[in-house]
Structure formats: structure tokens, C-alpha cells
Amino acid sequence: MRIDPTTYRMVQPGRTGSVALVAGLIGIVLCVLAYAADADRFFHSYLVAFAFWLAIGLGTLFFVMLHHLTSAVWSVVIRRMAESLMAALPLMVVFFIPLVFGADSLYRWSQPEAVALDTILENKALYFGSGFFLIRAVLYFAIWYLLSRSLWRASLRQDAGHNLDLVKRFRRISAVGMILLAFTATFAAIDWLMSLDPHWYSTIFGVYYGAGAMLAAVVALTLLALHLRSQDVLRKEITVEHYHDLGKLLFAFMILWAYMSFSQYFLIWYANIPEETEWFKHRWAGIWKPLSLTVVIGHFGIPFLALMSRPAKRNLAVLAFFSLWLLLMRWLDLYWIVMPTTETKSSSLSWIDIPPMLAIGGIFIWFAWRHFAAHPVVPVGDPNLTASMEFINRY
């Protein structure tokens, strides 16, 4: 892998994209076998993988819009990486199609016989009716596509020459986009994850998923920057100062996720309303109890203590380890949300969990890498690029 130091374009893009594509194609073949082996388990595993990679796309879209709204300087040098991951969001439309066909396995509200015997499901039938469900999904994806595409095209136009009109355009899109993203991500999380148990509800579930998406985005950016560094790309441009700020965001969004998780649990525990507590009771019984403790300790306790100090955030080996660790915990958190709703309610891991992650992840990374490698790897037209490269973290 090599870039032209004057234009910052990829001269030799390396094998990252091709390896990801091969992994994705292998994953697709294995998905067929997994579906044949156990369709119900496959669709639940597929939903975990879909929600995992969607979170990275939504989180990086949030990161780019936050960058523009705050006129951040330090993050200019890593903005193109975030934009490339964000640009893969439209691809998730294709990966949503299997969930439509697997709705009967995933959602009780899509089963007419279950609705007929359940008053609560009857009352929610209008909202969760398959027609309205699909209309909302189309709306979510349309908004995400327009936001990501508009920001991506404006960024490429800036490469050709900076002007103030583009800065205003970035901010206008981001100001409206933040509101639209908050609403659509919240309702998507309710539709695709919370409704797995249609009797249960949480008023902050969307924020809970959103906090995890923000964390996943920072993890992905950290790992991508470290991967480029290992290939001697942007080694001088992305310094320990930038990694320090990524470490601070990692720490902050991890705490935000923990705060939202605890708030959701504490309020439901305190109110002690049966239809709310049942969801947590499920996950605190039998074989699910150790997994619940693993999510609490692994997703918050251990990384909180490890990343608290300033030296830890500036240590690339520590950042690399805990980025991978938190990536695993993000998957485990989604697994913990989805899997208790399977017919068997088994928490045991299965080979069926692997193919969807390979299929969606491989194609997602390949698609994002194509965007990244086809253009300058940093926004060369941004007037703050030099200042970003020379950034010094004072805190």
C-alpha cells in the first residue's frame, strides 16, 4: 500500500479491499448453508450482524456532521476515513432485504395467528403492519442516503478547490441532518430491535442504540487509522495527538453507552412494572446471567479502568487492543438484545453467527475501501488540513 505524498492519492491500494470482498463472498455462501441448517437462528444472527454494521455507518455519518457543525480542526485529517465508511450506508438497503423475508421468524407482530390471540399486538397492528413497516424503512434509508451522498459529494468538490459556499453547505446539511438522524435512527432501532419483544418498551432505547453506534464509529476510525499506519500510510499526518483525541472520544462514548444502559435498567427496575421488567428478567435468568455480567464488565468496567489515564489514550498498542475489545463488546451487546427472542432462547454461540458478520462486514468494508482508495485519502482542499496535521493536544 502506497500513496503519492503530494496528491495523497493511492498509488498502490494494497489488498485490503480484495481480502474484504473475498471474505464477504465466502460469507454469502456460508449464509446459504446457515439458513438451510436453522432458518430461525440464522435470521436472528443476521439481524445482529446487520445492526452491528449499520451502527458503524450511522456513527460515522454522525461523526462527519459533528465535525462540520463544530468546525473541528484536529479531525480534518481523518475526515475522509469517516466519509468513506459513511458512504457505505446505502449498501445496507440490499442487506435489509433478507430481514424482510425473515420477518415472520423475527417478529411476532408479523404473524397473523399471534396477533389474533394477543390484545397488545392487535393494538399495535396498525403501526407494525407490514406495509407501514416497509414504508418507514424506505424513508430511513432514503434520508441516510441523501445525507451521506450530499456530504460525500460536497467533500469531493472541496478537493478541487475550497470556497466558503461549501463550508456553509456542509453546515446546513449537518444542522438538518443531525435532527433527521436522531429521529430516523431512533425509530429504526425501535422497529428492527425493540419490537423483537412487542410487549416491551423503553423510551430511551433509540438513544441506547445511538450511543453504541457512536462508539462503534470511533472504534472503526481508530482501527482504520492504525491499519493505515501499519502499512506506512499517513504515519506522519496522523500523529499520537490525533490518536489521543480518538482515545478520548472512545472513552466518552463508552461512558455515554454505559449511562444510557444503566438509566434504562434503573428506571425499569425502580418502576417495577411487569411488562417492562420482563425483558430484563429474561436476561437475568439461567444461562443468560453470565452473558449479562460479561456485557456490564466487558463493555464498561474493564475499558473504563484501562482508558481512564492520559498515557493509555496515547499508547497505540493499548488503543488497538481496546478498540478490538470494544468492537467485540458491541457485537456481544447486540447479541444480548436479539438472541433471547429466538425460539430456543439459547445463549450458546454457534457457527451460524459467523457467516452474516462475514457477508455483511466483508462487502461493507470492500465498498467503503473502494471509495477511500479512489480519491485523496485526506480532504486536500480543506484549508485546515495543515493545521490538523500539526495539531497538538493540550489536555
Is 151 within a domain? yes
Average pLDDT over residues 203-229: 97
Mean pLDDT of all residues belonging to the chain: 94
Please say if the pLDDT value at position 395 is more than 90.
no
Contact 318, 306 (CB under 8 A): yes
Average pLDDT over residues 146-162: 94
Is 262 within a domain? yes
Is 395 within a domain? no
Is 394 within a domain? no
CA distance 137 to 184: 9
Is 25 within a domain? yes
Of 140-154, 309-323, 344-358, the one with minimum mean pLDDT is 344-358
Three-state SS string across the chain, please? CEECCCCCCEEECCCHHHHHHHHHHHHHHHHHHHHHHCHHHHHHHHHHHHHHHHHHHHHHHHHHHHHHHHCCCCCHHHHHHHHHHHCCHHHHHHHHHHHHHCHHHHCHHHCHHHHHCCHHHHHCHHHHCHHHHHHHHHHHHHHHHHHHHHHHHHHHHHHHCCCHHHHHHHHHHHHHHHHHHHHHHHHHHHHHCHHHCCCCCCCCHHHHHHHHHHHHHHHHHHHHHHHHHHCCCCCCCCCHHHHHHHHHHHHHHHHHHHHHHHHHHHHHHHHCCHHHHHHHHHCCCCCHHHHHHHHHHHHHHHHHHHHCCHHHHCCHHHHHHHHHHHHHHHHHHHHHHHHHHCCCCCCCCCHHHHHHHHHHHHHHHHHHHHHHHCCCCCCCCCCCHHHHHCCCCCC
Contacts of 5 (CB under 8 A, 6+ apart): none
| Grid coordinates given for 165 | 459556499
Tell me, what's the pLDDT at 295? 96
How large a percentage of the chain has pLDDT more than 70? 99
pLDDT tier at 196, thresholds 50, 70, 90: very high
CA distance 336 to 88: 26
Is 184 within a domain? yes
Is 379 within a domain? yes
Average pLDDT over residues 206-225: 97
pLDDT tier at 250, thresholds 50, 70, 90: very high
Please say if the pLDDT value at position 163 is more than 90.
no
pLDDT tier at 344, thresholds 50, 70, 90: low
Tell me, what's the pLDDT at 48? 98
Tell me, what's the pLDDT at 287? 84
| Tens of pLDDT, residues 299-340 | 999 999 999 999 999 999 999 999 999 999 999 999 999 999
Per-residue burial over 305-318, b if 16 or more Cβ lie within 10 Å, else e, is eebeeeebbebeeb
Residue type, 108: R
Q: How many domains does the chain have?
A: 1
Is 234 within a domain? yes
Average pLDDT over residues 186-210: 95
Domain, as residue range, for 148: 2-389
Nearest Cα residue to 210 out of 361, 79, 58: 58
